[in-house]
């Protein structure tokens, strides 16, 4: 990449961050988030429409199909800013569906999905902690975030040796939802026998790539959350007094804060390196290794940083009224989405070119 191209890319990412800040202030209060907790569907449909109008759902969709045609660097920057604000809208899941509809040639409700008018969720998961989509036609589909707000679902279904894609309206499935630790909801759906409208006969490769990208973007969301929680903790350490001294002057607490800062920095480096590699066109095992390195680190670091942030706040950190705890709750829910740290460590060891056979 030339210097001019690098500058253009940096400017594009800066503009994405600025647009996110206009909708979800990165250091604003969390009253909106608190008001949505444990209230079906768990997010604000009007906010999702606004995200669609700003082009976020179609950020990775080619311009010819109505998207922005931008890279993972921009998508990860956007997710990071949303993570700082704990935005509950299922943007990552909507973007995954948009990529599949784009791979299907723009069939189905792509335009409505990109605008935020409709919410299509891809029901690919049949068991816990996996990135594999078996596509068993009659299988119950699990762990669909904010499924109560979906207008329809995309169903990957294996027909012969290929993974076909079908679209089914929400009214045609049996849906059950359960609350999550952060105040959102996960859905379980039972598909109809006819599987709905066929959109594509072979979506397997596109789904594999889209799931990897969703894992990386989820890692970026976790990075934004842990960074905000750490910033809140530093502010607390600089102002809270104990025994007549600012507690941030205590050496033991300084050491703990330094360790957390290192975790945040390493997570950022891993995510940015993975996004740059995928945008440069890396394929195969090297692609999977880059994603798994980033997701494993983000999953573990987000839980470590948010837990330590609560501890460093002392007793007030454990109260539900204090905002820092919301970041731990979010990390507890997202750490395992699109693969846990354990899954991604195993995959990294299996595919990493740095590991000798």
pLDDT of residue 296: 98
Greater model confidence, 7 or 315:
315
Q: What's 3-203's CATH class? A: mainly alpha
- Using DSSP's 3-state secondary structure scheme, residue 145 falls into strand
Confidence band of 353 (pLDDT split at 50, 70, 90): low
In this model, does residue 8 exceed pLDDT 50? Answer: yes
In this model, does residue 355 exceed pLDDT 60? Answer: no
Which CATH code for domain 205-351? 1.20.140.10
| Average pLDDT value over all residues in the chain | 94
In this model, does residue 114 exceed pLDDT 90? Answer: yes
pLDDT of residue 1: 65
Q: How far apart are the C-alpha atoms of 106 and 58, rounded to whole Å?
A: 12
**Cα 70 vs. chain centroid, distance in angstroms?**
17
Element (H, E) at 242: strand 241-242
Confidence band of 357 (pLDDT split at 50, 70, 90): very low
Peptide bond into 41 cis (omega under 30): yes
Average pLDDT of the residues in 48-67: 96
Greater model confidence, 3 or 316:
316
Residues in the chain: 357
Confidence band of 139 (pLDDT split at 50, 70, 90): very high
Greater model confidence, 183 or 352:
183
Average pLDDT of the residues in 211-232: 98
Per-residue pLDDT tens over the stretch 19-46 = 898 888 877 889 999 999 999 999 999 9
CA neighbor of 221 nearest in space, from 307, 100, 129, 330: 330
End-to-end CA, the chain: 32
Per-residue pLDDT tens over the stretch 304-323 = 999 999 999 988 888 999 99
Average pLDDT of the residues in 260-273: 98
- pTM value? 0.96
Cβ atoms 87, 183 nearer than 8 A? no
Both tokens assigned to 245: 């001294």
C-alpha angle 218-59-114 in degrees, rounded to nearest 5: 105
CA neighbor of 116 nearest in space, from 210, 30, 52, 186: 52
Q: Which residues, in sequence order, are bridge partners of residue 145?
A: 186
Per-residue pLDDT tens over the stretch 77-86 = 999 999 999 9
Q: How far apart are the C-alpha atoms of 326 and 84, rounded to whole Å?
A: 11
Q: Are strands 152-159 and 197-200 parallel, antiparallel or unpaired?
A: unpaired
In this model, does residue 237 exceed pLDDT 50? Answer: yes
Cβ atoms 136, 126 nearer than 8 A? yes
Per-residue pLDDT tens over the stretch 69-105 = 999 999 999 999 999 999 999 999 999 999 999 999 9
Where do the structural domains in the chain lie, given as residue ranges? 3-203, 205-351
Cβ atoms 322, 277 nearer than 8 A? no
Q: How far apart are the C-alpha atoms of 206 and 102, rounded to whole Å?
A: 9
pLDDT of residue 356: 47
- With 0-12 / 13-18 / 19 or more C-beta atoms within 10 angstroms meaning exposed / middle / buried, residue 2 is exposed
Average pLDDT of the residues in 265-279: 97
Average pLDDT of the residues in 339-351: 96
Three-state helix/strand/coil letters over 177-224: EEECCCCCEEEEEECCCCCCEEEECCCHHHHHHHHHHHHHHHHHHHHH
Confidence band of 354 (pLDDT split at 50, 70, 90): low
Least confident of 158-162, 226-230, 297-301: 158-162
CATH topology agreement for domains 3-203 and 205-351: no
């Amino acid at each position: 990449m030339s210097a001019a191209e690098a500058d253009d890319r940096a400017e594009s990412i800066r503009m994405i961050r600025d647009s996110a800040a206009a909708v979800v202030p990165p250091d604003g209060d969390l009253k909106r988030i608190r008001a949505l907790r444990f209230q079906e569907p768990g997010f604000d449909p009007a906010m999702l429409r606004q995200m669609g109008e700003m082009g976020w759902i179609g950020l990775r969709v080619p311009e010819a199909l109505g998207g922005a045609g931008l890279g993972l660097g921009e998508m990860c920057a956007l997710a990071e800013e949303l993570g700082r604000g704990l935005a509950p809208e299922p943007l990552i899941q909507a973007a995954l569906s948009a990529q599949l509809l784009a791979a299907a040639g723009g069939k189905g409700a792509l335009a409505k999905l990109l605008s935020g008018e409709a919410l299509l969720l891809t029901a690919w998961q049949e068991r816990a902690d996996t990135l594999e989509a078996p596509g068993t036609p009659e299988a119950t589909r699990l762990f669909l975030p904010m499924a109560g707000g979906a207008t329809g679902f995309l169903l990957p279904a294996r027909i012969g040796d290929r993974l076909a894609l079908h679209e089914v309206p929400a009214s045609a499935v049996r849906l059950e939802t359960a609350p999550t630790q952060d105040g959102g909801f996960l859905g379980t759906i039972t598909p109809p026998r006819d599987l709905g409208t066929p959109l594509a006969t072979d979506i397997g490769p596109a789904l594999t790539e889209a799931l990897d990208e969703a894992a990386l973007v989820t890692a970026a969301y976790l990075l934004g959350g842990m960074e905000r929680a750490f910033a809140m903790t530093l502010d607390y350490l600089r102002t809270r007094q104990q025994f007549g001294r600012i507690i941030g002057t205590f050496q033991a607490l300084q050491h703990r804060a330094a360790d957390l800062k290192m975790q945040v920095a390493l997570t950022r480096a891993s995510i940015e390196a993975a996004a740059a590699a995928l945008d440069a066109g890396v394929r195969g095992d090297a692609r999977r290794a880059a994603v798994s390195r980033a997701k494993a680190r983000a999953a573990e670091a987000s839980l470590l940083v948010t837990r330590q942030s609560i501890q460093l706040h002392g007793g007030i950190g454990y109260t539900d009224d204090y905002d820092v705890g919301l970041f731990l709750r979010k990390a507890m829910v997202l750490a395992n989405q699109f693969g846990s740290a354990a899954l991604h460590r195993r995959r990294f060891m299996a595919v990493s070119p740095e590991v000798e056979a």
